[in-house]
Structure 1
Amino acid sequence: MSGERDRALGTLLGLAVGDALGMPTQSMSREAIAARYGVVDRLLDGADDQPIAPKLRAGTVTDDTEQALLLARIVVTHGGRVPPQVFAAALEAWEEQMIRRGSLDLLGPSTRRALTRLAEGELPELAGRDGVTNGAAMRVAPIGVAATGPRLLDAVVESAVVTHNTAPGIAAAAAVAAAISTAVAGAGLPAALAAAVEGARAGARRGNWAAGADVASRLEVAFRLLPGLAPDTLADTVAGVVGTSVTATESVVAALGLVAALGDDPRRALVTAASLGGDTDTVAAICGAVLGAAHGAAGLPADLVATVRRVNAPLLDPLDDLVDGLLRIRSTPR
């Protein structure tokens, strides 16, 4: 397997492993997680009282992975494009499937609101005008695999505009995609993190203004503040200062901040993410995607990868073909 392909596969596997590790703790407080599980250093079942993923089998992925792969299929089918109406219809169909399965893991608030507006006749560029949550960032990993250079930001915007057409929503997605694209190219984590800041800065200029902190500025602070902290202090600082809510300016910065602090140890980074509280599945999924892009599939915890692939076999079986399709687009001159 080539280095680039290993890193591209690692991106999607890292996302799935982080998502599954954070599944049983999502929407729980850090204190509740500590009381029930201690440190989440293994794949766990969703408890009967899990707010979003009750009774799910250990290793099961959630909406983060499912929507990322949905986006990947559209990108491959449409030669690198994400037609707004096609994407909107696919998201609607995904939610209907989840409802039939009895899942509580449905579309997020920004996406649901935007798709309702789109169904009522609003233009795609208007439907996501107030989407400031992390939905665009949580599913953007395939764009980072498929796109490079000047077309990367355009591809991010195309994937985000229908649901998260705001400065924070696009900036957060652009940060994740830029980090992944840079890491898949083999540039290493420092370059990937620098690209995340620049991606966030450029992305913020492409969305509607929304009140809140600047993603690029928060990333710069997190990258200075978090590396070198002792484990408990690191977790306290990410949870209490950076934040782990569904807001893009918190959870996406938390995920990339953990990459900056623990990027040489993917298992420790993912365990920390899954134990923080808040939107743990998304924080761990984004963290895992960037670390997978940097270290490759071979650099991820092999035991976790094997279990997640087995438990989610129908969903993840086409992963290799999807990666090959995304890399064909990446290598096509534009």
Structure 2
Amino acid sequence: MSDEKDHRIKVLRTESRVRGMMLGLAIGDTLGAARGKLPTSGALRAGVSTQLACFTAEGVIRAMVRGSHKGICHPPSVVLHAYCRWAVMQGIEVDRMRRRWAAAKGDEAWPDGWLADVPVLGERRGSAPATVAALSRIEDPYDRIATPSLGCHALTRTLPVAVAGTGWARQAGEFAALTHGDSAAQSAAAQAAVLVHHCLTTPQEHDSSDHSDRALREALEMGIAALPSLGERATADEHGRLLAAFQHAVDQPAQAPLLIRLAPDATAPSALLGGIYTAASFPGRTQLRAALEFATSAPDGDSVACVTGALVGAVHGFEALPVDLVSRHELAWVLDTLARDMLSQIVDSPSGSEYVAGWDSYWWDRYPGW
């Protein structure tokens, strides 16, 4: 096999896994909200975690664009701006949002960027009370608007950060801190970003089903082992709980009472522990649907299934996701586009940089760097 063909295959596999992660979190979010009982026909509704994850992905791209063109960037501020675009589309504190952001655009339209033109992102799809409460104080200094919340949205909405690499793991905690002041929620978000990144990047040099089945557990094991390097974002107690959840899945897989004990509520740590336990309980490529259905049995099934879908989709790729569910999801195209665009921005910056012309003259309009 030629080097060029090897490179092309690697690119396609990476793309598949990023798409699988984005679509997997959305399918899990939707299935969990329905407690596993989806309608037999019609579009499948996106959850609020999925909506916010879309804006995280867009915010990450826009932060990278700004860094390329301006030389400096504060990613949490750019991602906060993304959440504000979601808020104004939802009708949340519209006047405050416009005072905070529209003035900087002058006579240009705000909210800007292509994601603001997706109608479904403006429809209510569940509640995100801590996020909304924080954004409602948007005219205060950005580092003072967070609530004391430990809620799961701090983690579920930041999962796409994993695509940008381990260097962004600390940023995931800072993105969570924009609205959720509890340090455990911030830690869980950073830890999840590292684990999903390992799931996206663990080698799969063989196509055998046996190797594919081992890959997910290997990725989680390596990711958990890497967490102490995050310093304050992974305390010894937190690291021990993650190790225990993984080992429980190996020794006692798919035990509903154990899942309930590990993930008893709608907090970020519960979502992470439940997602690790569920994903490692069902590591096989053909077990993805079973994993998501089991995750929905957690007390807060949508957050656990959201994390589970991201982990398993990141390892096995979008081809392993249930076609009947992906094809009906109302944000499938949006998620797929964001997945591809994140990779495009990381690999070759379509809008160029301050000194180098880009190859896509419309990229800045799609992802303005602010």
Q: Flag whether TM exceeds 0.5 (same fold).
A: yes
8 A contact 1:167–1:204 mirrored in 2: no
Q: Match for residue 160 of structure 2?
A: 142
Deviations 1:212-261 (A, max 9, x none): x9432211111112334364xx111111x112412122122111111111
Task: Verify: 1:18 aligned to 2:39, yes or no.
Answer: no
Q: Among residues 58, 62, 68, which one is paired with 1:73 in the alignment?
A: 58
**Residues 230 and 221 of structure 1: CA distance in aligned 2, closer, same or farther (over 3 Å):** closer
8 A contact 1:141–1:289 mirrored in 2: yes
Hey, what's the Cα distance between the residues in 1 that align with 2:336 and 2:263?
34
User: SS state of the match for residue 227, structure 1?
Assistant: helix
Q: What is the alpha-carbon root mean square deviation over aligned residues?
A: 3.1
Tell me which amino acid in the other structure corresponds to 1:60: R
Hey, what's the Cα distance between the residues in 2 that align with 1:104 and 1:304?
18
Instruction: Give the TM-score, by structure 1 length.
Output: 0.75
8 A contact 1:142–1:326 mirrored in 2: no
Structure 1 unmatched ranges of 5 or more: 26-39, 46-55
Task: Verify: 1:88 aligned to 2:80, yes or no.
Answer: yes
Structure 1 residue 283: Cα displacement: 0.9
Q: Among residues 101, 110, 127, which one is paired with 2:145 in the alignment?
A: 127
8 A contact 2:224–2:242 mirrored in 1: yes
Task: Verify: 1:108 aligned to 2:129, yes or no.
Answer: yes
Structure 1 residue 123: Cα displacement: 4.2
Matches within 5 A, 1:24-43: 24-25=34-35, 40=36, 43=38
**Residues 325 and 220 of structure 1: CA distance in aligned 2, closer, same or farther (over 3 Å):** same
Q: Match for residue 7 of structure 1?
A: 17
Structure 1 residue 96: Cα displacement: 4.6
Hey, what's the Cα distance between the residues in 1 that align with 2:162 and 2:42?
29
**Residues 158 and 326 of structure 1: CA distance in aligned 2, closer, same or farther (over 3 Å):** farther
8 A contact 2:133–2:147 mirrored in 1: no
Q: Match for residue 53 of structure 1?
A: none
Tell me which amino acid in the other structure corresponds to 2:82: A
Matched positions, count: 290
Identity %: 27
Structure 1 residue 97: Cα displacement: 3.4
Deviations 1:79-131 (A, max 9, x none): 1767444433432442453459773613232x234334543x2342x433733
Instruction: Give the TM-score, by structure 2 length.
Output: 0.69
Q: Match for residue 63 of structure 1?
A: 48
8 A contact 1:214–1:249 mirrored in 2: no
Hey, what's the Cα distance between the residues in 1 that align with 2:249 and 2:265?
18
Task: Verify: 1:97 aligned to 2:89, yes or no.
Answer: yes
Structure 2 unmatched ranges of 5 or more: 1-8, 66-72, 93-121, 204-214, 350-370
User: SS state of the match for residue 79, structure 1?
Assistant: helix
Larger Rg: 1 or 2? 2
Q: Among residues 316, 321, 324, which one is paired with 1:300 in the alignment?
A: 321
Deviations 1:167-193 (A, max 9, x none): 312221122211221122233323431
